[in-house]
Structure 1
Amino acid sequence: MELRSLRAFVEVVRQGGFSQAARTVFTTQSAVSKAVRQLEAEIGMPVLDRVGHRSTLTAAGEIVFRRATRMLAQREDMLAELEDLRGLGRGLLRLGLPPVGSSTLFAPLFAVYRHRYPQIDIRLLEHGSNRLEEILRAGEIDLGASLLPVSDEFEWQIVRREPLVALLPVQHPLAQKDTIQTVELKDMPFVLFESGFALNRIILDLCRRQGFEPEVVARSSQIDFIIALAVAELGVAFMPRLIAEQRPNDRIRYVPLAEPDAYWDIAMIWRRGAYLSHAAKAWLDLVKETHPSD
């Protein structure tokens, strides 16, 4: 069973189609289709149920996808361990960071890391935390930044703990309060981040524990645009206090949420039991050195 065929199949599932998978593995759509057919011929069962332009996993496909993801991740571990035989003077750091907070928490570290290890190649991916966890699970990055809590399949090192704030127009009655309960916002429309952002999960869980499902009127991956929507009174938005206070606006007020678990806990995470290269360990050491008390 060739890893190339397994990789093609995994990407078809992850990317949602053959053409998208072809772009990911830098080949043609026909080559991806051929690889999946070869895989099906080898195991003697279909792995995808094709209906028109859509494909869903068969029972056999679910088993192959789960096992193949682990096999591909183990291959990346092996390559990283072999690369470490060359020493820290060379190597590769594959890092995944979310758009929210990275410019503040991690951008300053890149210059320090580059100065200490000038020959380490840094490959950076930027996605929401949910997507980064998928990529990390597949072994395509060494470390990712995500919001706690995370699955037991990951180990983690805390980076920063920040309270969450609601973004309200200054003229709104609730904007004058020192803190606010999520339930007090139940009649307001919500402006959230795109679906791949773990911050949404925290906000929606807070609402559901208060017994309501908010009306979501807009989503965006851009912090400044979300603030602009809150200023325009389209709805209430939410951000970590650290991020919100870096963008002062005299037309809006940042009111902390009162719930005891309304926090943005960001951490560096990696697969439990996975091999961490010297390059990855050096990054974790630098993060701990820079944020020792967070």
Structure 2
Amino acid sequence: MVEHCPPSAWNRVRHRVEYARDVHPPRLTPAGEIVHRRALTLLAEQDDLLAELNALRGLQRGELRLGLPPIGSSQLFAPVFATFRARYPGIDIRLVEHGSKRLEEVLRAGEIDLAGLLAPVPAEFDFKLVRQEPIVVLIAASHPLSQASELELAQLSALPFVLFESGFALNPIILEACQQVGFTPHVAARTSQIDFMIELVAAGLGIGFLPRMMAEQRRHSGVRTVGLTAPALTWHMALAWRRGAYLSHAAQAWLDLIEPAR
């Protein structure tokens, strides 16, 4: 049983206790020291994690994995590269270049975030149309048909073709159209280089095909560009990504810079 103490006595006890605490402050046990150090580390790691996530959301750092085809990329995407780099200097762009068919494979495997593909785009991908251009025929200036303003595809059945390598999606567009009008072309040569294809056409080896935009930007004195009809063929470039997959902030920022197809 505690006896009653006058207020003055309690004050003297409290003063002695407070004085004792000042002289001997509380100390952590060895186990408490370990927990305390670990807690500080976890808090620091949490701060680092939040800062890193905020940097990614703010596009201050990160990586964009981009796959583009050799045909048309310089005209369509070089200005976007410059704008993207100016706005997001901390984002690294890892670029791979293949024909559309190979790009479909690496996109499907998740090795890249976005791929430049020719429409029609497989149903497993979402996409944004970037550009559509009529496909024109390139003919040596010395050939009589080079003076025409337009040519039907059937008029070209006797001429050898200069096509791109088999992985390029432009080839099936041309070959399927030939089958529709009733012939299978003789392929004189294949190449993966636009400039080399144009030189082969100028040398008279055969005729070539390009989207009009690219043909106009690569004019050659020995080559004429002629419109194509019956059927008229169109080149549709799209940027695609895996349907339902996570689209990074960097990839979304790239898409936001792409103007709708015209």
Q: Give the aligned residue type for 1:274.
A: A
Counterpart in the other structure of 2:76 = 105
CA distance in 1 between counterparts of 2:88 and 2:82 reads: 10
Is residue 2:96 matched to residue 1:125? yes
Structure 1 unaligned residues grouped into runs of 5+: 1-82
* 176, 181, 184: which one aligns with 2:147: 176
Conserved 8 A contact 2:115-2:240: yes
Q: Can you list the C-alpha shifts for 1:72-120, whole angstroms capped at 9, x where unaligned?
A: xxxxxxxxxxx86642222111000011111111012111101111111
CA distance in 2 between counterparts of 1:274 and 1:150 reads: 16
Shift of 1:271: 1.1
- Aligned in 2, Cα 1:210/1:128: closer, same or farther, shift over 3 Å? same
Shift of 1:280: 0.4
Conserved 8 A contact 1:93-1:123: yes
Secondary structure at the counterpart of residue 96 of structure 2: strand
Is residue 2:133 matched to residue 1:162? yes
Counterpart in the other structure of 1:143 = 114
Counterpart in the other structure of 1:270 = 241
Counterpart in the other structure of 2:29 = none
Counterpart in the other structure of 1:7 = none
Identity %, equivalent residues: 59
Q: Give the aligned residue type for 2:82.
A: A
Q: Can you list the C-alpha shifts for 1:208-247, whole angstroms capped at 9, x where unaligned?
A: 1111111111111111100000001101110111111111
Q: Which has the higher contact order (CA 8 A, sep 6+)?
A: 2
Shift of 1:250: 2.1
CA distance in 2 between counterparts of 1:154 and 1:178 reads: 38
Is residue 2:183 matched to residue 1:198? no
Counterpart in the other structure of 1:253 = 224
CA distance in 1 between counterparts of 2:207 and 2:198 reads: 9
Shift of 1:129: 0.6
- Aligned in 2, Cα 1:116/1:283: closer, same or farther, shift over 3 Å? same
- Aligned in 2, Cα 1:261/1:149: closer, same or farther, shift over 3 Å? farther
Q: Larger Rg: 1 or 2?
A: 2
Secondary structure at the counterpart of residue 150 of structure 2: coil
Shift of 1:259: 3.6
Runs of at least 4 residues off by over 6 Å: none
CA distance in 1 between counterparts of 2:53 and 2:203 reads: 52
Is residue 2:232 matched to residue 1:280? no
Conserved 8 A contact 1:129-1:197: yes
> Normalising to structure 2: TM-score of the pair?
0.77
Q: Can you list the C-alpha shifts for 1:158-181, whole angstroms capped at 9, x where unaligned?
A: 111111111111232221221111
- Aligned in 2, Cα 1:118/1:220: closer, same or farther, shift over 3 Å? same
> Normalising to structure 1: TM-score of the pair?
0.69
Q: Give the aligned residue type for 1:150.
A: V
Counterpart in the other structure of 2:198 = 227
Is residue 2:39 matched to residue 1:96? no
Counterpart in the other structure of 1:153 = 124
Counterpart in the other structure of 1:216 = 187
CA distance in 1 between counterparts of 2:77 and 2:193 reads: 18
Conserved 8 A contact 2:177-2:231: no
- Aligned in 2, Cα 1:164/1:210: closer, same or farther, shift over 3 Å? same
Q: Give the aligned residue type for 1:131.
A: R
Conserved 8 A contact 1:84-1:278: no
Counterpart in the other structure of 1:78 = none
Q: Give the aligned residue type for 1:213.
A: T
